[in-house]
Amino acid sequence: MTNIFLQLLINGIIAGAIYALVASGFSLIYSTNKFIHFAHGGVIALSAYVLFWLSALIGLNFYLAVFLTIIFSAFLGYLLNKFFYKPFRAKKASPSILLVSSIALLILLESIALLLFGADIKTLDLIKTNRGIEIFGAIITPLQIVIVLVSVFLFLGLYFLMKKTKIGKAMRAVADNKDVAEILGISAEKIYNWSFVIGSVIAGVAAILISLEQNIEPTMGTNLMIKGFTGAIIGGVGSVPGAILGAFLLGLVENFGIWFLPSGYKDAIAFVLLFAFLLWRPEGILGIKNNHKC
Amino acid sequence: MGHIAFFGIGAYAYAILALSGFPSIVCLLSAGVISACFGFLLAIPTKKLKGDYLALMSLGFSFVVYAIFLNWSELTRGSLGLPGIPRPIIFGFDFSGNAAFLSLVIFTALFSWWFIHRVTNSPFGRALEATRDDELAAQSLGKNTAKLKSLSLIISAFFAGIAGSLFASYITFIDPSSFTFTNLIPILLIVIIGGIASLPGTFFATMLIVLLPEFFRFVGLPSEIFGPVRQIFYALTLILIIYFRPRGFYGKIDLE
């Protein structure tokens, strides 16, 4: 007997976990750097392809491939900040310009993936049979349990990082007020780099898990960014816990939504939510009202 | 940032009407009008927004419209698309041939240019420029800037709709994938290169952006590479232009 409610709940949590992974890294970068790093999706897409290349094409041991992929993600994030965003910042570019250039960067990264690997869908056939376990009438696979556990673990780690470590506090300081933070001796540039590295590491983890659970295709970055971004907006884009909350909410609403609507509308639900929140509550659920001037 | 939605709405409106047998001139104009109506709809919530949030809202709007194209299969046949869209037959002229169609397009483009030129050089146009330069000042002089912004959105949606209908009848087949955000990038590029708020700039930039990738074709790249290379070309050019010359070549203002 399938318990539909529980199944949808579980699906919602799994989807939410994936979106939250995307949203948390992105939100960390946004709150520190104060602009929308759309190319985050490109980091995810390229990391997924790197994993595919290392694991399926070269045939490296899977865990080694995972390790190297995460290093790649971190490095790519760092490079993007240093060689792409930093010059723009030096020119005192406004957030709008950074947004547009970030979107262009996303397209650039995804096109590179398309060029190098082709448009067909790739899969990591590492888990031969992924039979689900039945709990109270709903089915969940071991991989999905891993996804949820890994994300929760990461979020707790992120929380610990932000609240207790020196780097975390420095990041929050720069997020709050960059000028004052610099007066206090914090190098904003170094913090920017760290935010990109950490955010991109989370992106790498997201890429790995998504590649295992679903598949790899060149536009996966854009799709995930839209969902992650929507989650971040819903929960409050300047706040990392908010982004995580919003992402989980999005996952749940999406999955419960298709109880009533045809399943093709799943993505539309996300877009409508994004639109609605931008309209009525742009600061999100946990966000603080922010005057977008200055 | 959601302008591709109006393009798509125009295309689908034309296609659906034309396939239902309405006369071409009705289809063409209705495409523009229907797009303009959606422009009006979008204008309502976005009247009060500025900058980033306006861009994001219109972006979100384009996503919603795309999702509708993809899912409302009773109307749009979803991802199967609408094939067999007839070329226009206006007042007895059959525009099925490419040369004839080209002349139709040129005529429409010239007319649009003339119209927009008249509009931007009218008191209405000057009020729009004032709003762009300093909204608060314009308001203090008594201009209803929200209404001005809405009107400009509606007008631009109209023309995007007309363009969409021409696109639909040119290719004779449309499906939702032509109207994703990625397809907006070349248009965005044209606007930025030509310079915002400049008509001649837009003209030259369009020629440039459309013709340049065609050179790559002659270099002899295999077709799987051509697509992504073109995207890379657009993305890189956009980035370079924003970085080195945000004013574009004829622009009146910097991308603020």
What is the DSSP track for A68-123? HHHHHHHHHHHHIIIIIIHHHHHTT--HHHHHHHHHHHHHHHHHHHHHHH-SS-B-
Residue A216 phi, psi dihedral angles, 5° rounding? -115, 125
Provide the token pair at B92.
């007895």
Q: Compute the distance between CA of residue A4 and CA of residue A10 in angstroms, rounded to an integer.
A: 10
Give the one of A110, A114, A292 whose C-beta lies nearest to B52's C-beta: A292
Say if the Cβ atoms of B239 and A264 lie within 8 Å: no
Q: Do B236 and A108 touch (CB under 8 A)?
A: yes
Angle at which helix A220-235 crosses helix A4-33, to 10 degrees, equals 90
What pLDDT is stored for residue A291 in this prediction?
Answer: 42
Looking at A21-35, A172-186, B30-44, B87-101, which range is the least confident one? Answer: B87-101
- Residue B82's DSSP bridge partners are B174
B74 and A CB contact within 8 Å: no
- How far is Cα A221 from Cα A81, in angstroms, rounded to an integer? 18
Name the strand (E) or helix (H) holding A34. Answer: none
Q: Which residues of A touch B238 (CB under 8 A)?
A: 100-101, 104
Closest CA to B201 of B101, B117, B106, B111: B117
Q: Residue A100 above 50 pLDDT? A: yes
CB contact under 8 Å between A282 and B53, yes or no, is: yes
Query: How far is it, in rounded angstroms, from Cα B201 to Cα B190?
Result: 8
Question: Six-digit token pair at B96?
Answer: 């099925």
Query: Which of A91, A107, A119 has the CB atom closest to B185's CB atom?
Result: A107
A115 part of contact set with chain B, CB < 8 Å:
yes
CB-based contact, A290 to chain B, within 8 Å: no
pLDDT at A62 over 80: no
For residue B190, list chain A residues with Cβ-Cβ distance below 8 A. Answer: none
Q: How distant is the Cα of A87 from the closest Cα of chain B, in angstroms?
A: 9
Minimum mean pLDDT among A49-53, B68-72, B93-97: which range?
B93-97
Question: pLDDT value at position A121?
Answer: 74
Which residues of B are less than 8 Å from A111 in CB distance?
Answer: 228-229, 231-232, 235
Q: Quick one: what percent of chain B has pLDDT higher than 90?
A: 0
| CB-CB under 8 Å, A115 with B228 | yes
Q: Which uninterrupted H or E stretch holds B92?
A: none
Mean pLDDT computed over B95-117:
77
> Residues B1-42: pLDDT tens digits?
778 888 888 888 888 877 777 777 777 788 888 888 888 888
- Determine the average pLDDT of the residues in A149-167: 85
CB contact under 8 A, A272 and B64: yes
Determine the distance in angstroms separating the CA of A147 from the nearest CA of chain B, rounded to an integer.
Answer: 28
Does the beta-carbon distance from B242 to A101 stay under 8 Å? yes
What's the pLDDT score for residue B247? Answer: 60
Smallest Cα distance from B20 to chain A, Å: 26
Lowest mean pLDDT: which of A18-32, A68-82, B161-175? B161-175
Mean pLDDT, rounded, for A77-89: 82
> Does position B53 have pLDDT exceeding 60, yes or no?
yes
pLDDT bin (cut points 50, 70, 90) of residue A292 is very low
Q: Which residue of chain B is at minimal alpha-carbon distance from A106?
A: B235
| Mean pLDDT across A276-293 | 62
Name the phi and psi angles at B37, rounded to 5: -60, -40
- What is the Cα–Cα distance from B130 to B9, expressed in whole angstroms? 30
Instruction: Please name the amino acid found at residue A90.
Output: A
Q: Is the CB of A88 inside 8 Å of chain B's CB atoms?
A: yes
| Structural domain spans, chain A | 4-280
* Residue to substitute from B232, B233, B253, interface A, most A β-carbons within 10 A: B232
Residue-level pLDDT at A15:
87
A5 inside 8 A of chain B by CB: no
Query: What rounded mean pLDDT belongs to chain A?
Result: 80
> With a threshold of 0.80, does the pTM exceed it?
no
Nearest Cα of chain A lies from the Cα of B24 at a distance, in angstroms, of: 32
User: Is residue A32 pLDDT above 80, yes or no?
Assistant: yes
In chain B, what residues touch A118 (CB-CB under 8 Å)? 224
Interface mutation vs chain B, best among A86, A219, A233, A279, most B CBs within 10 Å: A279
Helices (H), chain A: 4-33, 40-52, 62-79, 86-90, 95-117, 142-164, 166-176, 178-183, 188-213, 220-235, 240-260, 266-280
* Partner-chain residue, chosen from A87, A96, A268, that has the shortest CB–CB distance to B55: A96
Burial profile A204-227: b = 16 or more Cβ within 10 angstroms, e = fewer: bbbbbbbbbbeebbbebbbbbbbb
Residue B92 or B115, more confident: B115
Tell me the chain B residues in contact with residue A272 when contact means C-beta distances shorter than 8 Å.
Answer: 64
Determine contact, residues B53/B143, Cβ cutoff 8 Å: no
Q: How far is B244 from chain A (nearest CA, A)?
A: 10
Query: Which has more confidence, A211 or A2?
Result: A211
* Top-confidence range, A70-74, A82-86, A101-105: A70-74
Q: In residues, how long is chain B?
A: 256
Q: How many CB atoms lie within 10 A of CB B110?
A: 10
- Residue A103: is its pLDDT beyond 80? yes
pLDDT value of position A254: 84
Is residue A92 less than 8 Å (CB to CB) from chain B? no
pLDDT greater at residue A271 or residue B226: A271
Other residues' Cβ atoms within 10 Å of the Cβ of residue A58: 9
pLDDT over threshold 60, residue A58? yes
Mean pLDDT (whole number) for A30-59: 83
Residue to substitute from A92, A278, A292, interface B, most B β-carbons within 10 A: A278
Q: What is the distance in angstroms between the CA of the first residue and the CA of the last residue of chain B?
A: 15
Query: Is B232 in Cβ contact with A112 (below 8 Å)?
Result: yes
Q: Which two tokens stand for residue B242?
A: 């924003």
Confidence of residue B222 (pLDDT cuts 50, 70, 90): low
pLDDT band at B256 (very low <50, low <70, confident <90, very high): very low
Confidence tier at B216 by pLDDT (50, 70, 90): low
Put simply, the answer to whether A96 touches B255 (Cβ < 8 Å) is yes
Most B CBs within 10 Å, among A103, A105, A222, to test the B interface: A103
Nearest-by-CA chain B residue for A109: B232
Identify the residue whose tokens are 């909350």: A245
What average pLDDT does the segment A229-237 reach? 81
Tell me which chain B residues have a C-beta less than 8 angstroms from the C-beta of A104.
185, 234-236, 238-239, 242
pLDDT at A294: 33
Q: Which residue has the higher pLDDT, A205 or B210?
A: A205
Given CATH 1.10.3470, say whether it is the number of domain A4-280. Answer: yes
